[in-house]
């Protein structure tokens, strides 16, 4: 078991380092350009590697921190790329794997909840507050994705691009958060948990406004008849 955990831990650190670097490059490079696309692919697969190794470490050790961040970032990465696929292929339908992603997302909330119930809430410290914040955000995404599932064919490409950017940026926030929590020694651990959110959320707002989609664009367009 010890050797197994060492391999997964080293792999987790490796994927995390690559994800941080490629994520910064993807943010800097022009959206849709060759540099952005190349950095984005590296970032995507690095984030998948982070998710796999995070669960591989967290489940046997009962690590609440890794369960939350690993599940949170993996869901956003998978769906962020999925929205890009929907944008590129209008005929692509919301299907089996999308529901699997959502199911895993709900498990990401339920499993840590089980750990917290078993603990004395007085001994959970700041992580309890952070858990509620992250859970609220994730549940909001899950329910929103279910709501929009059957309407994808009516939405413009800009809507999918908007979702792609916000999800990938959200996953990056989770990665930076994990890095800070593990490496920044502070008595107020909540600061390390929430600081990346405070810093990077304005960037998400900026990019989503740049590719803003109005509510009118989300309504199915009725075919017009020639007079």
Instruction: Kindly give the confidence (pLDDT) of every residue in the chain, 227 residues in length, as a single tens digit, with 9 standing for 90 and above.
Output: 778 888 988 999 899 899 989 998 998 888 888 999 999 999 999 999 998 998 888 878 777 777 778 888 899 999 999 999 999 898 888 999 999 999 888 888 887 777 667 666 555 555 677 677 778 888 999 999 999 888 888 888 888 988 898 899 888 888 887 777 766 665 555 566 666 666 766 666 666 666 565 445 455 444 444 43
Q: Would 38 be classed as within a structural domain?
A: no
**Helix axes 64-88 and 34-61, enclosed angle (nearest 10):** 150
Q: Measuring CA to CA, how many Å separate 53 from each of 4, 16, 61?
A: 11, 10, 12
Q: Are 50 and 12 in contact (CB under 8 A)?
A: yes
Q: Would 24 be classed as within a structural domain?
A: no
Q: Would you put residue 33 in left (φ > 0), alpha (ψ -120 to 50) or beta? A: beta
Residues in contact with 79: Cβ distance below 8 Å, sequence separation at least 6, in sequence order: 98, 101, 141, 145, 163, 167
Q: Would 67 be classed as within a structural domain?
A: yes
Q: Would 32 be classed as within a structural domain?
A: no
Q: Would 136 be classed as within a structural domain?
A: yes
Please tell me the predicted confidence (pLDDT) of residue 54: 87
Stated as kind and residue range, the H or E segment containing 37 is helix 34-61
Q: Would 43 be classed as within a structural domain?
A: no
Domain that holds residue 161: 63-210
Distance CA 76, CA 118 (A): 28
Q: Measuring CA to CA, how many Å separate 124 from each of 176, 190, 198?
A: 22, 12, 23
Please tell me the predicted confidence (pLDDT) of residue 46: 95
Q: Would 35 be classed as within a structural domain?
A: no
Q: Would 180 be classed as within a structural domain?
A: yes
- Whole-structure pTM value: 0.78
Q: How many domains does the chain have?
A: 1
């Amino acid at each position: 078991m010890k050797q197994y955990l060492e391999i997964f831990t080293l792999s987790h650190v490796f994927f995390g380092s690559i994800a941080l670097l490629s994520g910064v490059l993807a943010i800097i490079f022009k959206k849709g350009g060759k540099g952005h696309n190349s950095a984005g692919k590296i970032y995507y697969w690095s984030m998948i590697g982070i998710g796999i190794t995070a669960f591989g470490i967290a489940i046997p050790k009962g690590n609440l921190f890794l369960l939350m961040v690993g599940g949170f970032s993996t869901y956003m990465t998978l769906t962020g790329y999925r929205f890009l696929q929907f944008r590129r292929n209008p005929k692509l339908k919301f299907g089996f794997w999308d529901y699997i992603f959502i199911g895993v997302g709900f498990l990401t909330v339920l499993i840590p909840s089980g750990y917290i119930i078993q603990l004395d809430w007085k001994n959970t410290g700041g992580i309890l507050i952070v858990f509620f914040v992250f859970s609220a955000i994730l549940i909001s995404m899950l329910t929103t994705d279910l709501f929009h599932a059957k309407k994808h064919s009516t939405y413009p490409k800009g809507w999918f691009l908007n979702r792609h950017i916000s999800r990938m940026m959200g996953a990056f926030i989770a990665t930076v958060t994990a890095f800070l929590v593990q490496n920044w020694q502070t008595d107020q651990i909540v600061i390390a948990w929430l600081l990346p959110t405070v810093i990077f959320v304005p960037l998400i707002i900026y990019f989503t406004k740049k590719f803003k989609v109005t509510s009118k664009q989300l309504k199915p367009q009725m075919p017009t008849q020639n007079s």
